């Protein structure tokens, strides 16, 4: 039983770190294109859903615009959802521990244990697996934002949250071409002081 608990805790840590990992695969760091000195193109995305799309866009954009700096980071959900996911993560481990140890938390409150708790005591492995996987499913749903937000020099150029869909590669290239032309045009206008 201790081995099962250790495996579930380790698997929970792997699932949690994978679901909330930043894009570079290195915890706490952002994925950046090095040695670029041009404008900054920043992607804020739901890592669990759009990481491959981001990597493909990054590859194409870095080939087409070698001077552009590209950053990607996880678009965090609202704080209430992050707190719910954190609470569930801890509650899951406590509940699994109570199932394995066989302690009845309902007796502490002077209540009769429900039939599902009794079933869990008779089928500890299945009960632990059910708690683990259902809790992870809810945690991942809370942490998923569906975001794919793109800014160029801190100016929003695309928002999946507003548009409801991802930009096609052609749309993104056209947006970047227009923004780059506009920036070049604005830089070429002489600035007069009054």
CA pair distance 142, 89, nearest whole angstrom? 11
pLDDT of residue 184: 58
Residue ranges of the chain whose pLDDT lies below 70: 1-37, 183-194
Which residues are within 8 A (CB) of 49 and not within 5 positions of it... i.e. 6 or more apart? 144, 146
* Percent above pLDDT 90 for the chain: 46
Class of domain 37-75+147-174: alpha beta
CA pair distance 7, 71, nearest whole angstrom? 35
- Contact indicator for 33, 70 with CB cutoff of 8 Å: yes
- Nearest-Å Rg of the Cα atoms of the chain is 24
Q: Are strands 31-32 and 40-45 parallel, antiparallel or unpaired?
A: unpaired
Extents of the domains making up the chain: 37-75+147-174, 77-144
pTM over 0.85: no
């Amino acid at each position: 039983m201790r081995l099962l608990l250790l495996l579930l805790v380790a698997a929970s840590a792997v699932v949690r770190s994978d679901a909330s990992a930043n894009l570079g695969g290195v915890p706490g760091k952002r994925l950046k294109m090095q040695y670029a000195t041009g404008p900054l193109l920043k992607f804020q995305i739901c890592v669990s859903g759009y990481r491959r799309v981001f990597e493909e866009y990054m590859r194409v954009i870095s080939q087409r615009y070698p001077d552009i700096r590209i950053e990607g980071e996880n678009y965090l959900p609202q704080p209430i959802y992050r707190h719910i996911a954190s609470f569930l993560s801890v509650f899951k481990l406590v509940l699994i521990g109570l199932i394995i140890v066989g302690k009845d938390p309902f007796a502490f409150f002077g209540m009769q244990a429900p039939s599902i708790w009794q079933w869990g005591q008779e089928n500890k492995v299945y009960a632990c697996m059910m708690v683990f996987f259902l809790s992870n499913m809810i945690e991942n749903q809370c942490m998923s934002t569906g975001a794919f937000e793109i800014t160029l020099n801190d100016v929003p150029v695309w928002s999946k949250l507003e548009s409801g869909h991802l930009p096609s590669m052609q749309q993104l290239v056209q947006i970047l071409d227009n923004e780059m032309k506009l920036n070049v045009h604005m830089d070429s206008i002489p600035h007069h002081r009054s």
